[in-house]
Structure 1
Amino acid sequence: MKRKDIIALIIVAVVVIISGGLFVKTKVVVSRDRLASNLTKAVQNQDGKLFLKQFSKDDQNLKFADVGAKSVVKDMHNHSRDSLSEVGRIIVDGGHVSGTEVKYRFTVENKKVLGLFDSYYLTTRRTPVNVEDYTGSGGPVTIRLKDADNTKVTKSMLKSGFFPGKYNLDVTSGDTQGDYWIWPAGDGETMDLMITSN
């Protein structure tokens, strides 16, 4: 190879590396400011999908997390006493949005992308649910999630925990049937669902 060709090859390689780095930094890496902006936009537009995308993959893949995320942005949008334009910054700074039905608990974490850039995302703790049947029916308890086309919720799903948010449940125990709801905050503490006959 000629010296001229080597120099051209080096220049092309440098351009490709710089371009790739800029692409990663602007399209893949999420700064704290961008995370806050995405959260604010999700709440302002009541966009549960965008809100959920700001979380770790484990949280995003949690069963019914989409239902929870949709209810969280709705709660924040409708009940926040803070300015909606500040909601994302409040969450990223570790605060609670005032006025919501529960104090949601989210944590900001980061990971290195290409070993160079810090990319930020949210995590939360799953809330396990313990069912207490006080109906005296002795029959099996069947729980269906109304917000997910009445999908049956199994004991393993209840034990594995829920993403924060409100979940409307249709519960049947023997001949007793009723509507219940749970509202995990993301604190990881077990929540009791008490089924009664009236």
Structure 2
Amino acid sequence: MKKKDIIALVIVVLVVLAGGLLFVKTRVAVSENRLADNITKAVQKKDGKLFLKQFAKDNQETKFSDIGAQSVVKDMYNNSTDARSEIGQIIVDGRKVTGTKATYHFDVESKKVLGIFNSYYLTTRKSPVKVYNYTGYGSDFTVKLTDGGKNQTVTKSDLSSGFFPGTYNFDITSGDTEGTYWIRPSGDGDTIDLTVTDY
């Protein structure tokens, strides 16, 4: 190989390497500013899917998390006393969004991409639900998730596994008794007590 060919090859390799690193830095790794922008955009567009994508994979894969995420962005859009354009930065700074129906607990964490770039994402804690059934039917009850849940059945395992932050509405039937209930986990991981009574 001639000296000119070697120099040309080295230049091509360096350009490809620099381009690849630039691509990873701008498209794969998520900066704190980009994370804040994505959160803000999700709230401004009431886009629960985009909001949920900002979280760690295990948070995204929590059962019913799509319903919770949609209710969170709706709550922030409708009720926050903070400017919508600042909500992403508020969360990334570790502060709480004010005026919402719940004080949501979100943490910012980071991981290394290619061992070089920090990529930032959100995490939260799931809240288990403990149902206390005072209808006289003991532990015999069925729970259906409504309001975005399309009457999905919620198992006792789902309740004990915990819920992503947000608002969840239920129809609970126990024996001859049926009622509507709701929970609003905030991401603090505390167990929520849900009392089912006979009307």
TM above 0.5, one fold? yes
Deviations 1:107-161 (A, max 9, x none): 0000011111111000000111111101113462100111221111111111111
Q: Distance in 2 between matches of 1:2 and 1:129?
A: 72
2:104 maps to 1:77: no
1:128 alignment counterpart? 128
What TM-score do the two structures reach when normalised by structure 1? 0.97
The offset of 1:26, in angstroms, is: 1.0
1:11 alignment partner AA: I
Secondary structure of the residue aligned to 1:95 is coil
2:169 alignment partner AA: N
2:154 maps to 1:153: yes
Q: Distance in 1 between matches of 2:102 and 2:127?
A: 13
2:168 alignment counterpart? 167
Q: Distance in 2 between matches of 1:139 and 1:58?
A: 29
2:109 alignment counterpart? 109
Secondary structure of the residue aligned to 2:21 is helix
2:65 alignment counterpart? 65
Q: Distance in 2 between matches of 1:60 and 1:125?
A: 12
2:79 maps to 1:56: no
Q: Distance in 1 between matches of 2:10 and 2:58?
A: 41
CA RMSD of aligned residues (A): 1.0
Q: Judge conservation of contact 1:71–1:165 (CA < 8 Å) in 2.
A: yes
2:59 maps to 1:46: no
Q: Judge conservation of contact 1:124–1:187 (CA < 8 Å) in 2.
A: yes
Secondary structure of the residue aligned to 2:26 is helix
Aligned-pair identity (%): 63
Q: Distance in 1 between matches of 2:101 and 2:80?
A: 9
Q: Distance in 1 between matches of 2:141 and 2:163?
A: 19
1:194 alignment partner AA: T
2:31 alignment partner AA: S
Secondary structure of the residue aligned to 1:27 is helix
The offset of 1:5, in angstroms, is: 2.1
2:174 alignment partner AA: S
2:71 alignment partner AA: S
The offset of 1:67, in angstroms, is: 0.2
- After the TM superposition, which segments of 4 or more aligned residues of structure 1 sit over 3 Å from their partners? none
Structure 2 unaligned blocks of 5 or more: none
2:95 alignment counterpart? 95
Q: Distance in 1 between matches of 2:127 and 2:104?
A: 12
